[in-house]
Structures are given as structure tokens and as C-alpha cells.
Amino acid sequence: MLTRLLLALPAVQGAAGADAPGDPRLVRALHLDLLGRAPTRAEREESAGVDPRGLVDRIVGTREFWQAWFEEELYYFLLIDTFRPTAPAVVEIPDRLAEGALTAPEAIHRILLSPNFSGRNPGADTFVTVVLEQCLGTTVQESPMLLAAGKKMYDGHAATLLGQAGRGQADVVKIVLDQPAFLRRLADRQWGRLFGTPLPREEGRRAEERLRADPRSFPDLVREWAASPAYVERLGRPRQKGPLQFVRSLYVDLLDRLPTDEEFRWTRNATRALSDPGPLRAVLARLLLASPKAAVPKSPPEDATGWVRGEFLRLLAREPAERELRSFLASLGEGGSKPADVIEALVTHPEYGYY
């Protein structure tokens, strides 16, 4: 039965951009890009009739937006699991950002000075190399003198790095984060999370100048990018969900809640360890669908057509094609499939891995 449903679905395809108020593709994409997860049932209902800019304004700057940004930055610096920062000054970053008491560059500064970052990158050579490469995009093999100066400073000796004098590990971080290239890299990561492409040169220059003039303008940049025609156009090019997005979205779509920290870590690490995480994701989907908390009808709803269409819109953000609809309805009817089979087919199909 499940095989028949899967065969009814096409390969992943592009679709036209969508900027109409409440459009399911736009609503789903904005939640995935800005919060790292699919929208809940309540959020989908609240988004009905809301224009794109209003929806972006509703999300950006919230505590959850900053939490999602914080998690992406920790993942970028590979500060996960045993290396996840536990110092209060780092743990409180999302709260301070949401309150406006901290800026995005200041948040990165705290992360890089945490004991966990030092533990993840022990020693002068590794620490300085990672800071230069991750924050500035520097290829240290091509800049041996720059690396040597950074290592000397890291070891507590007076040295000059990138034209600035310093002594100690903290000075290495401060000097690197003082560089304009750091702001451009910071903007480039956020642009990539929204568009899946490198930050255009002119847009990067503008973002760098704006952040240098006012580091608090970072969320305003995100609002502009997410509400732009370019973002709407991007929806026509399917993008693969990242491991963080996929795991969180599966829990939200099937249980209408986020995974606990333990659930998230186990699932993320298990899927990352596999060259093809598809089978494990299918097992996880079946486990979640079997949960008594999963809102799945036990038998085909009276309005089977409306229900199938609703599940396509909810999980794939699109209407089913006529052929798909006929096949799914036939399977629910004479085919003997259960509603859980329909949902499983949708979330285990490759298309669910894109948005």
C-alpha cells in the first residue's frame, strides 16, 4: 500500500514563486529559513491572509528566531554535543539578543571566547587557523606569516596581527572580529540560509557597511532579505532541508511540537552518520506516527478528498496533481490504506526533504 502511494508521487520539481498572503509555500519556507522548522498548525492558521512582510516581521527578532540563529552558529563552529557551550554568558545569548542587549557580532565574540570553543580547537595552531578561516575566510596555508603572528599572540607574546597589536588569545579574537571581512562573512551565512547561494558582491558590500555603522541592524537586514522579491523567486528552486531543519520539521509535522534536546541530538547524529539517511528517517517517521500524540485519523475521514489535499498542503506546501489525488483516494478506499499510510508516504518521499 505504501509503495503504491510513493509511486504516485513525482520526483522533486520546481514551482513558481509565491507571494500571496498565506501562501503555504511561503509560510513553510519562512518558518524553515527563519526558525529552522516547519510551522505548527496554529501558525499556519494565524498566517492565513497575512502579507509576507507582516509574517517576516512577526518572526524576526523573536526569542525563537534568535535561538534558531544561535543553534546554526554553534553548528557552523561545530560546537555540538560535548562541545556545546555551557557558560551562562553563552547560554543566555538568545535571550540577550531578543532583548536588544546584545548584537550578533557580540554574540559571536562570546562564542569564540567560550571554554568549549577552545576545547574544540585546542592549541595555538588549531585555534588561530579556525578563527581566521571561519571568521574571515582566510586560507592560512597561503598566509603563513599571518598564522605565525596569530600563534605568537595566542601564546601570550606581544605581536601584530592584521595591523593591530595584541597579546593573548582574547586579542586574537578581538582583532579578527574587528575586520570588515568578518561582518561580510556573518552576512553571507545568513544570506545562504535564506537563498542557498553566496552573497552577491554588491549586496555583501552594502551589508558590511551597514553592520559596521550599526551592528544592531542585523535583524533589519534579515527582514529586508526575507521579504524581498528575490526571496519569493527563490521558492521556485527547491532547496534541500539541512539536518537541523529536517529533524525539527518532522517532529512539528507529526507531533506538532519540537523534539526535546535529547531526541534532537540522537536523531541528528544518527542521520549525519549515514551516507543515505533516508531509511533511518523513514523508521523515525513510523515511530512518530505510532505515537498516541500523533494527530492521525484512525480511519479515512468522511471528506477524504479535502483531507488528502490538506495533507499535501501541510506537508509539501502544494496541491496534489489530479493523478496523485486519484491514486491516494483509491488507496484510501478500495486499496485499504490508512490515513497514517498517506502521511508516511508524504514524509518519506524525497520531496519532503526539500522546500
Entry pTM: 0.88
Q: Which of 2, 70, 3, 10 is nearest to 36 (CA)?
A: 70
**Confidence band of 337 (pLDDT split at 50, 70, 90):** confident
Please write the tens of the pLDDT for every residue from 137-179: 999 999 999 999 999 999 999 999 999 999 999 999 999 999 9
7, pLDDT greater than 80: no
CATH code for the domain defined by 1-20+239-355: 1.10.3130
* For range 91-111, the mean pLDDT: 98
Task: Output the pLDDT for position 262.
Answer: 87
Task: Output the pLDDT for position 108.
Answer: 98
Asked whether 342 and 349 are in contact (CB, 8 A), the reply is no
User: How do the domains of the chain map onto residue ranges?
Assistant: 1-20+239-355, 181-234
**Confidence band of 3 (pLDDT split at 50, 70, 90):** low
Q: What's the grid cell of residue 196?
A: 542557498
**Confidence band of 78 (pLDDT split at 50, 70, 90):** very high
What's the CA gap between 174 and 42, in Å, rounded?
A: 43
Q: What's the grid cell of residue 53?
A: 512582510
Residue 333 DSSP class: T
**Confidence band of 20 (pLDDT split at 50, 70, 90):** low
**DSSP bridge pairs for 159:** 166
What's the CA gap between 223 and 62, in Å, rounded?
A: 12
Handedness of CA 6, 9, 14, 16 (dihedral sign): negative
- Tally helices (H) and strands (E) across the chain: 22, 2
- Helix intervals (H) in 169-260: 169-177, 180-195, 201-213, 218-226, 229-234, 243-255
Task: Output the pLDDT for position 97.
Answer: 98
CA geometry: angle 172, 176, 178, nearest 5 deg = 120
129, pLDDT greater than 80: yes
Residues whose CB falls within 8 Å of the CB of residue 163, separated by 6 or more in sequence, listed in order: none
Chain-wide mean pLDDT for the chain? 91
273, pLDDT greater than 70: no
